[in-house]
Amino acid sequence: ILQPGEVMGFVGPNGAGKTTTLRILAGLLKADGGEGHVLGAPVRGGRDKIRGLVGYMPQRLALYGELTVEQNLAFRAEVYSLPRPREAVAGIIERFGLTDYAGQRAEWLSGGWARLLQFAASVIHGPKLILLDEPTAGLDAPAKLEVWRRIGLFAGEGAGIIVNTHDLVEAEQCDRVTIFAGGRVAASGDPASVAAGLSIRTL
């Protein structure tokens, strides 16, 4: 069970099942077995409700390159049917430090700023659960630190966060780590113990 304010790391190589699991939790893929709940909604049968409750950021950028930063966020606000979309867009632009880039096309942003824009678009509706698939992939060190700083801020405000990564060193910034291998959970526990090869909880 993921607690409010907790950051969970899903760790494993490509093909281990991390992304599939995250997409099921986001309501984007249908689970073919098992049981579980996401913010009270069942993963089997509750996909439509789940999609409106969580914030999901895929590894590949899901932005409209020809649209500006502001237009991308306005579109996302419309998707979530936010009651005051202009205020929501203005607020998230300020929060993510995107003010100077608001009128710039997304395709002209650097990798770090594009990733922050995608992060902002994923949380514009104020989700209590945030799912991030390889959020620092391809970024340089300063950009990675900025993404993790943002993760910490949202966790500090009570959001539960799951981060997919293949880097166990990076996952040490999480509160808990779950190791995936061959499509199954191999171990779970605090990062230090898992990194040392001590399986606190084998599922």
- How many angstroms separate the CA atoms of 191 and 112, rounded? 26
- How many angstroms separate the CA atoms of 118 and 131, rounded? 12
- How many angstroms separate the CA atoms of 95 and 33, rounded? 39
Q: What is the pLDDT of residue 203?
A: 39
- How many angstroms separate the CA atoms of 135 and 32, rounded? 27
Cβ(2)–Cβ(160) below 8 Å: yes
Convert 130-168 to b/e letters by CB count within 10 Å (16 or more is b): bbbbbbbeebeeebbebbbebbeebbeeebbbbbbbbee
- How many angstroms separate the CA atoms of 140 and 143, rounded? 5
**What tens-digit pLDDT sequence spans the chain (203 residues)?**
899 999 999 998 888 889 999 999 999 998 887 888 898 888 888 888 898 889 999 998 889 999 999 999 999 999 999 999 999 999 999 999 999 999 999 999 999 999 999 999 999 999 999 999 999 998 999 999 999 999 999 999 999 999 999 887 888 999 999 998 877 888 888 888 776 764 444 43
Picking from 177, 175, 155, 176, the residue whose alpha carbon sits closest to that of residue 166 is 177
Q: Is the pTM of this model over 0.85?
A: yes
- How many angstroms separate the CA atoms of 155 and 112, rounded? 20
| CA angle centred on 6, ends 152 and 59, rounded to 5° | 65
